[in-house]
Amino acid sequence: GLGYYTLEHLLYSQQGALLTNRTWNYYPPGPLDIPIDFRIQLRKNAPNPLGVLRSKATGEPPLCMSVAVPLAVCQALRLPASRSGTGSFLQAFSTPLSPEKIFLACKNDINLYKYS
């Protein structure tokens, strides 16, 4: 879900063919994208007697809960948007929320990034 909301930008040719259909031109999240301080906790002694071979779900729940990613990005951008006086980031909300799109949505003054 993280890659879906932040990296998966579908590009099509004028003939309608999907151009970003493999990892040569689409970069899914990898090991270096995991934060250094990544705290998770697995439930201990939590059997699932109704699951196939007592298995637990691993696919759909994380994907469904990944909707928190764009919402967290929007929440994080409220302060920069209010400081720049450009309004809410939600006006320009569309996925994927690439780093470039997030940076441009902040609408910071380019002079903030120049050495003086």
60 is catalytic: yes
d(CA 102, CA 46): 39
d(CA 24, CA 68): 28
Burial code (b: 16+ CB inside 10 Å, e: under 16) for 18-29 equals eeeeeeeebeee
Tokens of 102: 């997030």
Catalytic residue among 60, 112, 115, 116: 60
Least Cα distance to 90 among 68, 67, 73, 103 occurs for: 73
* Catalytic machinery residues: 60
